Amino acid sequence: MPSNSFDLFIIGAGSGGVRAARLAAQHGRRVAVAESGALGGTCVNVGCIPKKLYSIAAHYAESFEEAHGFGWSASSPTLDWATLKRNRAVEIARLNDVYEKLLGNAGVTLIEGRAEVVAADAVEVDGVRYRAERILVATGGWPARPDVPGGELAISSNEVFDLPDFPRRLVVVGGGYIACEFASIFRGLGAAVTQLYRGVQVLRGFDDDVRAFLADEMRKKGVDLRTHAHVERIDRAGGGLRVVLRDGSELAADQVLYATGRNPNTAGLGLAEVGVTLTENGAVAVDEGYRSSVPSIFAIGDVIDRVQLTPVALAEAMVLVEQLFGDGGRKVDYGLVPTAVFTNPSIGTIGCSEAHARERHGAVRVYRSEFRPLRHTLSGSSERTLMKLVVDDASDRVVGVHMVGAEAGEIVQGFAVAMMAGATKAMFDTTVGIHPTAAEEFVTMRTPVPE
C-alpha cells in the first residue's frame, strides 16, 4: 500500500479518535490520525481532566474550615493561582505525551495539521493528500459564542483554566452542567460568583428534585444563582467588565464566562462539499452504525451531538471499529449512561428522571432520602445529601438512580453496573449496606414517596 494510503483515516485525536485508531491498528489495519491541536482533545486539555483537578482544588478551603470541628487548627488558607495553573499544565503535558505514545506504540501514523475532506476517499492536511478507504470524523465540539453586544469580551470554558489573573468577580452565563460546575469551582476557589440563567431552573434534562436540590445547595455555598436572567450586553468598565441585564440591573465583573452550550466542530472540514449531510447545528448526521450520508465517511463523539460525554465517545469508537473490522453486533445503550456533574456538592445520575419514567413506564414508585452526612455532624457545614430511586412499578426494575452529595459519581458508577444487569428494587432491598456510608442509603430506602 502507498505510504499516503490508509484503511482508516481519522480526523481528530481526542478520546474517541485515539481509541478508534488504536483498536483499528490492533486489527491489523493501516491507520492515520490528523490533529491540529494538542492530543487528547477537549477532555484532556480543556474539559474533564483540568475541570476535575480544579474541582478538587476548590474543595480545599472548605475542608480547612470544616477541619476545625474535628479538632484541627490552622491559619486561613490562601490560593496561589499561578501554582495551580502551572501544576495543571504539567499534568496535561504528561497526558499529551501518553496519548502520543499510545498511538506510536499501536503503529498509528500521527499527522499534525488541520485536515479537510476533499473526496469520499481523500483527505488533505497542509496541502498533502492522503487516500483512505474509510474516513472517521471525530473532531468533537466547540463552545458556543455569545450572541449579545460585547459578547467578544466574554471567555469560554476553553480559556477559563489559564486566565492570567484570578477573577475575584466572576459572572457565569448558562444553566447547564458546565456552567454549574464552573460556578461551583470558582466560588470554592474564592471568587464572588454570580450565575445567570434565562430559564426557570438550572440543569434542564436532569431530574427535577436533583435540579432544585443542587440550586439550593449552590446558593448555600455562596453562588448568587439567578434564574429568568437575560444578558442584554457586556461593556468594558473601569478596568473590568459590566454586564447589563434586560431588567436594567448591572453587574461588575473581572471576567464573564459564557457556558451556554457546545456546537459540533465541523466548520472548515469540507464535509458538506463532498455530500455529507449535516444537521441544523452542524452535527454529522449518522445512522445506527455511525455512517454518514457518504458511505465511506463515519463520525462519532460530540460531533454527532448525541451524548456529549467522553466515555460515550469511547464506547462509540469501540462499537464502530468492531463493526468495520471485527465481529460487530455490539451497540451503545444511550438510555443507561451514568453521568457525574462536578458541582459542590456533586451529582451522580443514571437512567430516567422521575418525569421521564412516568412518560415511559406509566406507574412508577419513587424513593427519596435527604439527610445530613455523618461528616457534617462535626464539620459545622449545613450541606445535605439527596438520594433518589425511580422504580417501574410493573417490573420492579430500578430505572433511575440519582444522587447529590459528596463523591456522587464514585457511588453511582457502581449502581450503573447493577442497572445494566436489570436490578430490581427487591434486589436493592436484599443487598447488605456498608455502614456507615452514604451509599448504603440506596439499599435501605423502603417507603415510597406518597403520590
Query: What are 54-68's pLDDT values in tens digits?
Result: 999 999 999 999 999
pLDDT at 2: 63
| CATH number for the segment(s) 151-260 | 3.50.50.60
**Mean pLDDT within 317-338:** 94
Q: How confident is the model at residue 75 (pLDDT cuts 50, 70, 90)?
A: confident
d(C-alpha 193, C-alpha 81), whole Å = 17
The reply to whether CATH 3.30.365.10 applies to domain 5-142+263-325 is no
Angle at the Cα of 67 from the Cα atoms of 65 and 71, rounded to 5 degrees = 130
DSSP string for 169-181 = EEEEE--SHHHHH
DSSP 76: P
Domains 151-260 and 345-443 share a fold: no
pLDDT (0 to 100) of residue 20: 98
pLDDT of residue 403: 98
The percentage of the chain sitting over the pLDDT mark of 70, rounded to a whole number, equals 100
Instruction: With beta carbons less than 8 A apart as the criterion, state whether 110 and 101 touch.
Output: no
Closest CA to 184 of 350, 57, 67: 57
Instruction: Tell me the three cell numbers of residue 262.
Output: 457546545
Q: Using CB atoms within 10 Å of the CB of residue 374, give its burial: 0 to 12 exposed, 13 to 18 middle, 19+ buried.
A: exposed
Domain range list for the chain: 5-142+263-325, 151-260, 345-443
Q: Which residues of 62-97 are buried (b: 16+ CB within 10 A; e: fewer)?
A: beeebeeeeeeeeeeeebeeeebbeebeeebeebbe
DSSP string, 431-451: SPPPTT-SGGGGGT--SPPP-
Is the four-CA dihedral 282, 287, 289, 292 of positive or negative sign?
Answer: negative
Query: Which of 228, 413, 428, 393 lies closest to 337, judged by CA?
Result: 413
Q: Do 208 and 293 touch, CB atoms closer than 8 A?
A: no
What b/e sequence results for 105-115 when a residue is b if at least 16 CB atoms lie within 10 Å of its CB, and e otherwise?
eeebbbbeeeb
- Is the link from the previous residue into 436 a cis peptide, with omega within 30 of 0? yes
What is the per-residue pLDDT for 329?
A: 80
Are the C-beta atoms of 145 and 151 separated by less than 8 Å?
yes
Is the confidence at residue 16, as pLDDT, over 80?
yes
Apex 397 CA angle, 392 and 398, nearest 5: 85
At 178 the pLDDT is 98
Statement: residue 1 has pLDDT above 80: no
**Residues facing 111 on adjacent strands:** 34
The stretch 308-317 carries a mean pLDDT of: 97
Residue 402: which of 364, 362, 352, 360 has the closest Cα? 352
Asked whether 52 and 342 are in contact (CB, 8 A), the reply is yes
Taking alpha carbons only, the member of 348, 399, 308 closest to residue 206 is 348
**What is the rounded average pLDDT of the residues 417-421?**
97
What letter represents residue 49's amino acid? I
The rounded distance, in Å, linking the Cα atoms of 347 and 189 is 19
What integer is the mean pLDDT of 39-45?
Answer: 97
Question: In 10 A of CB 222, how many CB atoms?
Answer: 14
134 has pLDDT over 80: yes
pLDDT of residue 391 exceeding 70: yes
The Cα–Cα gap between 417 and 419 comes to: 5
Question: Known catalytic residues?
Answer: 435
Exposed, middle or buried, 264 (CB in 10 Å: 0-12/13-18/19+)? buried
Is residue 232 predicted with pLDDT exceeding 80?
Answer: yes
Q: What is the mean pLDDT of residues 133-152?
A: 97
Beta pairing partners, 297: 135
pLDDT range class, residue 74, cuts 50, 70, 90: confident
136 contacts 299 by C-beta, under 8 angstroms: yes
Residue 281: strand, helix, or coil: coil
Q: State whether CATH 2.30.42.10 applies to domain 345-443.
A: no
Q: Is the pLDDT of residue 404 over 80?
A: yes
CB atoms within 10 A of CB 35: 27
pTM: 0.96
Dist CA 88 CA 57 (whole Å):
11
Q: Which residue has the cell 459590566?
A: 242
